[in-house]
Amino acid sequence: MPTDSETQYDPSLGRKFIFVTGGVMSGLGKGITAASVGRLLKNAGFEVTAVKIDPYLNVDAGTMNPFQHGEVYVLADGGEVDLDLGNYERFLGIEMSSDHNITTGKTYQHVIERERAGDYLGKTVQIIPHITDDIKRRVREVAEGTDVCIVEVGGTVGDIEGMPYLEALRQFAHEEDEEDILFTHVTLVPYSKNGEQKTKPTQHSVKEVRSIGLQPDVIVGRCEQPLEPATKEKIALFCDIPTDAVFSNPDVEDVYHVPLVVEDEGLDAYVLERLALEEEAIPADERENEWREVVTTDKSGEVDVALVGKYDLEDAYMSIHESLKHAGFELGVDANVRWVAADEMAEHHTERLRGADAVIVPGGFGMRGTEGKIEAATYARENDVPFLGLCLGFQMAVVEYARNVLGLEGAHSAEMDPETPHPVIDILPEQYEVEEMGGTMRLGEHTTVIEPETLAYELYGDTACVERHRHRYEVNPEYFDRFEGEPMAFSGTAGNRMEILELEDHPYFLGTQFHPEYSSRPGTPSPPFVGLLEAALDGRGEVAYDEEVTA
């Protein structure tokens, strides 16, 4: 019986693959480096896609703690994936699927299921060839129909869990034509105390890569400042690559400037030459500069946004931070995000919100911090501060209104308080029939119908929008009649699901059961975030933000 690899491999397809590995330490930014190269190739006229390999045993990122891995990014098909796929979607302007995220759990699960079904006809199932063949199959399937596929291997070279993936890449190099494969290694180039750029970490990292059977074609040095010529020459000498194949990726003010920096370094030109794509590429002087124009927009002001959440980690709310940037590009302002710990609101009341130009209450799971999120909604509602509630933030705005305006004492979400006398947020009746918890989760893109002549209609400019979801609980239909005729109204629905709420006679009070931050892009910002910043600009200037209180 043919292996997975044999059934998929076809060298006549002419696809190009860029494999990106990282050395020395994790969190270097190899994902941003890879996404930046992809952005430049797309500017040159090529169809580009990406694969993120995560060597952990989880099947997907859905159950991961945001403190450890940052936010769980949700794809259009409902896939719960690593946040790096969000960067690829934002940089490449493409829509990815669950297949673009390969995990060890997903790969082993598939191979074991095949073994149980007898597909291997009694053969001994092993890492090589069965796991490595499945890895290669997955990469090639994603690459189908594109010109270039960028494959980022998560973790650091030398990690034991990453070894099967590196072996699969070694086999790729054996199976594909040399001009169709480019190995890029991203590594740390630190400074010594005397200010000298040190190449020894890079040398040891490349030595590790080569011991596995991989030879980097390109080395990208992550550093505070651009690599000095002598540093590049030393890396080239000891790592056995041409000096012009060594590039800098220095620290920048904004990750969206990385494509501009590596373009100035000539990385895109080298990649096009190395992959024999020069003749097919749009000439450099004829390429669109839309990306550069968007991300270098002149800023004429700034807005302070209080983000009231439970995870004191920027990566846990990465898509929200990025959506605010995108809205800022659109409006020509900087959005300064001020972190406010939701579980400390009870102690400090609303002092931490004083002077904020706008308030965002993000999504989340679990009881911790919910009372603080409710207090934030109260503060924004009573003080005419622009407010955006996302998913759980939307639900807590409903709870707040039910308690403080409708007079439903003890109202809450049944998720947080199963004994609440007024479960204004609950699982829908049809969901109780689903036995497995995961089966009740609403994931991925769904359509919301928008009422005309509402704030939501003004923002989206249409009677419908398609946004991504990640939640289990909903506004309880038994309480719909309590909200009829109220200033707080549901302006977006999906059948008996309430999707958007807004408050009349308020500068900007909006809540969405969905996550609009997942579909925001540079140049095409999310409407709710643009509306929030516009309202903040219209009403700002009364009270300066209290730095001591927010520290």
Do residue 288 and residue 305 come from a single domain?
A: no
- CATH number, position 384: 3.40.50.880
Do residue 288 and residue 312 come from a single domain?
A: no
Q: What is the pLDDT of residues 472-529, one digit of tens each?
A: 999 999 999 999 989 999 999 999 999 999 999 999 999 999 999 999 999 999 999 9
Q: What is the pLDDT of residues 441-466, one digit of tens each?
A: 899 999 999 999 999 999 999 999 99
Contact between 312 and 337 under an 8 Å Cβ cutoff? The reply is no
* Structural domain ending residue among the three candidates 250, 271, 294: 294
Do residue 149 and residue 119 come from a single domain?
A: yes
Q: Among 193, 251, 242, which Cα is nearest to 221's? A: 251
Catalytic residue (one of 322, 330, 517, 534): 517
Band of pLDDT at residue 24, cut at 50, 70 and 90:
confident
Within 125-228, residue ranges assigned H as helices are 132-143, 163-175, 200-211
pLDDT above 70: percentage of residues in the chain: 92
- Annotation says 484 is catalytic: no
Within 296-369, residue ranges assigned H as helices are 318-331, 345-348
Q: Among 52, 64, 57, which Cα is nearest to 22's? A: 52
Do residue 324 and residue 427 come from a single domain?
A: yes
The domain tally of the chain equals 2
Cis before 129 (ω within 30): yes
Contact between 153 and 162 under an 8 Å Cβ cutoff? The reply is yes
Do residue 383 and residue 451 come from a single domain?
A: yes
- Domain encompassing residue 468: 299-550
Do residue 269 and residue 377 come from a single domain?
A: no
432-460 in b/e form (b: 16+ CB < 10 A) is eeeeeeeebbbbbbbebebbeebbbbebb
pLDDT score of 311: 84
- Annotation says 130 is catalytic: no
Phi, psi angles (nearest 5°) of residue 172: -55, -45
Catalytic residue (one of 391, 415, 467, 534): 391
Catalytic residue (one of 80, 322, 515, 534): 515
pLDDT score of 7: 42
Per-residue tokens: 518: 């997942």
Strand pairing category for 16-22 and 218-223: unpaired
Q: What is the pLDDT of residues 420-439, one digit of tens each?
A: 999 999 987 666 665 554 45
* Structural domain ending residue among the three candidates 270, 294, 318: 294
pLDDT score of 5: 44
Residue with tokens 């969000």: 86
Do residue 200 and residue 311 come from a single domain?
A: no
Q: What is the pLDDT of residues 147-188, one digit of tens each?
A: 999 999 999 998 999 999 999 999 999 999 999 999 999 999
Mean pLDDT of the chain: 91
Whole-Å CA distances, 144 to 99, 141, 219, 450? 12, 5, 27, 37
Whole-Å CA distances, 309 to 149, 314, 360, 529? 36, 11, 9, 17
Helix, strand, coil content of the chain in percent (nearest 5) = 45, 20, 35
Do residue 83 and residue 172 come from a single domain?
A: yes
Phi, psi angles (nearest 5°) of residue 118: 85, 15
Do residue 256 and residue 336 come from a single domain?
A: no
Sign of CA dihedral 259, 262, 264, 270: negative
- Annotation says 517 is catalytic: yes
DSSP lists the bridge partners of residue 464 as 449
Do residue 140 and residue 255 come from a single domain?
A: yes
Band of pLDDT at residue 8, cut at 50, 70 and 90:
very low
Contact between 186 and 213 under an 8 Å Cβ cutoff? The reply is no
- CATH number, position 185: 3.40.50.300
The Cα 200–Cα 423 span in angstroms is 60
Do residue 349 and residue 269 come from a single domain?
A: no
Q: What is the pLDDT of residues 338-396, one digit of tens each?
A: 999 888 876 665 777 888 999 999 998 888 889 999 999 999 999 999 999 999 999 99
Do residue 271 and residue 416 come from a single domain?
A: no
